[in-house]
Amino acid sequence: MSKEDLITGLDLGTTKISAIIAEVNEKSEINIVGVGTTPSYGLRRGVVVNLDKTVQGIRQAVGEAELMAGVKVNNVVVGIAGDHIKSFNSRGVIAVSRTEEGISNEDIKRVIEQAKAVTIPMDRKIIHVLPQDYTVDDQTGIKEPVGMAGVRLEAEVHVVTAAITAIQNIVKSIERANLAIRNIVLQPYASSFAVLDEEEKELGVCLLDVGGGTTDFSIFFEGSIRHTSVVGLGGVNITNDIAIGLRTPRAQAEEIKKRYGAALSSLVDTNETMEVPGVGGRKKREVSRQILASIIEPRIEEVFSLVEREIKRSGFDDRLTAGIVLTGGTAKMEGIEQLAERIFDLPVKVGVPKGIVGLTDAVSDPVHAAGIGLIVYGYKHRDEEGFFERKAGLLDRFIRRVVNWFKSI
Ligand SMILES: Nc1ncnc2c1ncn2[C@@H]1O[C@H](COP(=O)(O)OP(=O)(O)OP(=O)(O)O)[C@@H](O)[C@H]1O
Ligand SMILES: [Mg+2]
């Protein structure tokens, strides 16, 4: 296996860091060859707050994945999340340069540049400019304008920005772990590559990742991303509620949540009970599962209601024909689909990564949607020069070109 064909997705989560290594095989399939997951202690609500602990976590996760795959990783495609992420739609207009030959790739570049030429605050940086639709002269809703005849080209784009400090801390953590960055990708956008299909994105769908520290979502309609947003609440808040509500240590609350938790108290049999350890040596008690569910339900309801309000605000609420797709660890909670259906009044399903081969068992989990999505993103953008690639990578790139040239003859 050549190093050139390896793509590693690094998901820096609030509760876990996971590294997934894939090899692109001869059939152009994404073959999962290594997975490493370790608890995360250096992030809060999706953002690096402790560099050393994050570096340690990255080393651990990548090391485990390398061991499993029997390869050495040099660079990663990393996700970025947190409630510092902001997005807005923008538009650019240009005059097409050489009208006889139709619209060229250069024109597309130019119109995108134009669309992103908006003033953003000094402390923020654009991480994505994602084209939605083009208008050629008066013809709207065009997806592929290259080659078309026209004199005026207009582009509508979705611009995603992040706090510069949040980006810098991700870059620092990865560099200190002796890795290079191939791409930095908005996490809910990355996940969409792993769990959504083209038809869902065409019809209208909301991808909702309920993680540990954050809940983020992105809306797709007519094949393009239309809206993204982040709520700073997630599974960690549920665990804290349980620890307080049942007066039990947090570690036990986490275990109880995963084992007995349910998002809808009406789904739980009233006679089911479980053992709850006390704090500071206090006796354990029998508690009904329904009480546990009645602690969980209002918190998830709160999160979903915040999301629903934001979806309404986006104006896409009546365009989500394909409904909601849930990912992230909290999506594994029993009854969460039913609760989501009740709140959003839309069809809901849990999204599991698809379109991959190899160690699929290890990653067929809504938790790994981001990690796998990062790989797919990296694969789709493999020919682009990494925006965040190190300067020292020039030699690398030269070698890669020579190797590719040899391969092609
Ligand atoms: N079976 C389960 N039932 C309920 N919750 C679960 C289950 N398994 C995991 N979780 C919860 O999922 C959360 C972790 O999810 P995930 O790994 O997607 O988050 P993360 O990526 O670490 O965080 P974030 O994306 O918010 O930065 C934890 O709060 C964990 O308790
Ligand atoms: Mg996550």
Distance 65 CA to ligand 1 centre (A): 20
Q: Report the CATH number that the domain containing residue 109 is assigned in CATH.
A: 3.30.1490.110
Rounded mean pLDDT, 256-265: 97
332 and 261 in contact (C-beta within 8 Å)?
Answer: no
Mutating to test ligand 1, I would choose from 10, 12, 15, 326 the residue with most ligand atoms within 8 A of its C-beta, which is: 15
CA 226 to each of CA 29, 174, 346: distance values in angstroms, whole numbers, following the listed order: 28, 30, 18
pLDDT for the residue 396: 54
Q: Which domain holds residue 128?
A: 86-162
How long a stretch of residues is the chain?
A: 409
Q: What are phi and psi of 341, to 5 degrees?
A: -60, -40
Distance 157 CA to ligand 1 centre (A): 32
Angle in degrees, 0-180, between the axes of helices 289-314 and 336-344, rounded to the nearest 10: 40
17 and 58 in contact (C-beta within 8 Å)?
Answer: yes
In a domain, 125, yes or no: yes
Distance 396 CA to ligand 2 centre (A): 31
pLDDT digits (tens, 9 = 90+) for 217-242: 999 999 999 999 999 999 999 999 99
**pLDDT > 90: what percent of the chain?**
87
Q: What are phi and psi of 10, to 5 degrees?
A: -115, 115
In a domain, 309, yes or no: no
The region of weakest confidence among 96-105, 295-304, 359-368, 386-395 is 386-395
Distance 247 CA to ligand 2 centre (A): 27
Per the structure, how many domains does the chain have? 1
Asked if residue 71 has pLDDT above 80, the reply is yes
pLDDT category at 388 given cuts 50, 70, 90 is very low
The region of weakest confidence among 88-102, 285-299, 311-325, 353-367 is 88-102
pLDDT digits (tens, 9 = 90+) for 35-68: 999 999 999 999 999 999 999 999 999 999 999 9
What region does 65 belong to: left with phi over 0, alpha with psi -120 to 50, or beta?
Answer: alpha
User: Which atom number of ligand 1 is nearest to the Cα of residue 81?
Assistant: 27
pLDDT category at 408 given cuts 50, 70, 90 is low
Instruction: Say how far apart CA 61 and CA 55 lie, in whole Å.
Output: 10
Rounded mean pLDDT, 189-218: 96
Ligand of minimum distance to the alpha carbon of 292: 1
pLDDT category at 397 given cuts 50, 70, 90 is low
**215: number of Cβ within 10 Å:** 28
In a domain, 267, yes or no: no
Asked if residue 378 has pLDDT above 80, the reply is yes
Nearest of 185, 200, 183, 192 to residue 218 by alpha carbon: 192
User: Which atom number of ligand 1 is nearest to the Cα of residue 236?
Assistant: 29
In a domain, 100, yes or no: yes
In a domain, 158, yes or no: yes
In a domain, 97, yes or no: yes
The region of weakest confidence among 74-88, 96-110, 174-188 is 96-110
Distance 232 CA to ligand 2 centre (A): 12
Sign of CA dihedral 174, 177, 178, 182: negative
Instruction: Annotate 115-148 with b (16+ C-beta within 10 A) or e (fewer).
Output: bbeeeeeeebbebbbbbbbbbbeeeeebeebeeb
pLDDT category at 119 given cuts 50, 70, 90 is very high
Nearest-CA residue for ligand 1 atom 25 is 211
Residues at CB less than 6 angstroms from ligand 1: 13-16, 40, 46, 81, 211-214, 234-236, 239, 254, 257-258, 261, 328-330, 332-333, 367
User: Which atom number of ligand 1 is nearest to the Cα of residue 40?
Assistant: 22
**Structure-token match 């400090």, residue found:** 165
Mutating to test ligand 1, I would choose from 45, 216, 258, 264 the residue with most ligand atoms within 8 A of its C-beta, which is: 258
pLDDT for the residue 270: 87
pLDDT for the residue 392: 40
Asked if residue 281 has pLDDT above 90, the reply is no
pTM attached to this predicted model: 0.91
pLDDT digits (tens, 9 = 90+) for 94-116: 999 876 789 999 999 999 999 99
In a domain, 98, yes or no: yes
pLDDT category at 403 given cuts 50, 70, 90 is low
In a domain, 110, yes or no: yes
pLDDT for the residue 404: 57
Distance 338 CA to ligand 2 centre (A): 22
